[in-house]
Each structure stands twice: as C-alpha cells, then as structure tokens.
C-alpha cells in the first residue's frame, strides 16, 4: 500500500529526521518544498518560473509553490510531505489536489524547540550537522566527517529561533486547525528520542 503522509511541526520538531525515516520505511518519496522548487525552478507558470523569484531574492508566491508541489506529488508513488503547506491557503489547495492518508503533527514544547535549534552546530567546510546535546561530535567543535570547524549558524541563535517560532505559530496554526476540522489530524508527542517518536508515528500509520 502506498502512503500519502503529511508531517507538520515547528522548526526543530524533527520533521526532516522523521520524514527521512518514514520514506525509507515505506518506500515513498520525501517531498520538501525546497527540493521541489530546486528541481523545478525553470517550470513555467502563469506567474513566471521559480528561478525568477529565487534569483531576485524574493519569496516564491503561493500559486507558484502550489503548482510545483502538485507536480512533485503527481510524480510520486506515495510520499511524505515536509515543509508544505505553510499557510491556510496552501492547506486548502493541498486538500483539493490529493487525498492524504495521514496528517501528523509533531507536538513539541516551545522551550524544547529553542534548545534543539540553538544547540545545532554545522561544519563550516562540509555542511555536516551535529547537536551539542543529541548528536555531539567526538571532539567538541570539530567535525567527525572532515575535521572542519563546527559553527552556530546565524539563524540558530535564541533570538532568531524565537522569531522563527513566532512566524510558524502565526502562519501554521490555521493549517493545523484546518486538518483538525477535516478530522484527519493526529498529534504525536515529539519530545522523545527520535527512534521512539518514529515508533509512535509508525503505530499511527499501521492502525
């Protein structure tokens, strides 16, 4: 059976980690907005190509993102969708173009999210990701992969993390309410270890 799964959650909730695990477990595509846009940046829409907005440093308009996501889902034999929809208009569009088997919201307390986001470290050379608490390198500040320096990105400071979360709450709470009203939303406690969270998600899907 092919699964069509939507994973929702705030920055730091673990959507990327869980989406990758789910894609491997069920043999489906992991579809992210960013990947879909990059793969289809020259796709013609009535509003122009995604490339025209990306190269101008502008946000890609909702109608263009909608078309790109629709094309990505149409090509996939089952999927885990991560990073879309970001607002109510996109959520309503998604409900029109596909029937989802499951909409899972990873519920994580704000202070836990801030700890996760601010603890992230990235290799300045190869881009490998670590976390001071959950995935520390063997030697503090040094990348296990290439020996490069581990840095904290500007968008992983506490001030920026809280700003990102505020944007998420403003834009995405209506999305959560939309799927709750449709009766398809399942909330999963996302504060446990990644493997435990994955087991909880799998239990939901296998019911």
Residue set of the binding site for ATP: 12-17, 120, 192
Cα dihedral 22, 25, 29, 33, rounded to 10, equals 20
- 117, 132 contact by CB (below 8 A): no
Binding residues: 12-17, 33, 38, 58-60, 83-86, 90, 120, 123, 126, 143, 146, 153, 164, 192
Q: Which of 4, 116, 120, 121 is catalytic?
A: 120
**Residue 200 annotated to the active site:** no
* Cross-strand bridge partners of residue 189: 107
CA distance 127 to 148: 9
Q: Which of 4, 15, 21, 116 is catalytic?
A: 15
Binding residues for AMP: 33, 38, 58-60, 83-86, 90, 153, 164
Helix locations, the chain, DSSP H:
15-26, 33-39, 50-55, 62-74, 88-97, 110-118, 158-181, 194-206
Q: Which of 51, 86, 200, 202 is catalytic?
A: 86
Tokens 């881009």 locate to: 127
Q: Which of 4, 21, 121, 164 is catalytic?
A: 164
Tokens 């063997």 locate to: 138
Q: Closest by alpha carbon to 85, among 108, 60, 58, 62?
A: 62
**Residue 4 annotated to the active site:** no
Cα dihedral 22, 34, 60, 7, rounded to 10, equals 20
Binding residues for Zn(2+): 123, 126, 143, 146
**Residue 15 annotated to the active site:** yes
**Residue 120 annotated to the active site:** yes
The strand pair at 4-9 and 120-123 is best described as unpaired
Active site residues: 15, 86, 120, 153, 164
């Amino acid at each position: 059976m092919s699964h069509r799964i939507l994973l929702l959650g705030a920055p730091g909730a673990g959507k990327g980690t869980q989406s990758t695990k789910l894609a491997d477990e069920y043999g489906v595509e992991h579809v992210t907005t960013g990947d879909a846009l990059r793969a289809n940046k020259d796709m013609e829409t009535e509003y122009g190509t995604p490339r025209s907005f990306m190269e101008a440093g502008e946000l890609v308009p909702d109608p263009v993102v909608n078309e790109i996501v629709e094309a990505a889902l149409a090509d996939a034999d089952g999927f885990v969708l991560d990073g879309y929809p970001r607002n109510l208009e996109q959520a309503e569009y998604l409900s029109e173009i596909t029937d989802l088997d499951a909409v899972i919201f990873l519920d994580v307390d704000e202070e836990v999210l801030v700890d996760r986001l601010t603890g992230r470290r990235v290799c300045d050379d190869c881009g490998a990701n670590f976390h001071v608490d959950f995935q520390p390198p063997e030697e503090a500040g040094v990348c296990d992969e290439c020996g490069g320096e581990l840095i904290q990105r500007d968008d992983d400071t506490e001030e920026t993390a809280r700003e990102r979360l505020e944007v998420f709450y403003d834009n995405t709470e209506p999305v959560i309410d939309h799927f709750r009203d449709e009766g398809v939303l399942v909330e999963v406690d996302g504060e446990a270890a990644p493997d435990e969270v994955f087991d909880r998600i799998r239990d939901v899907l296998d019911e």
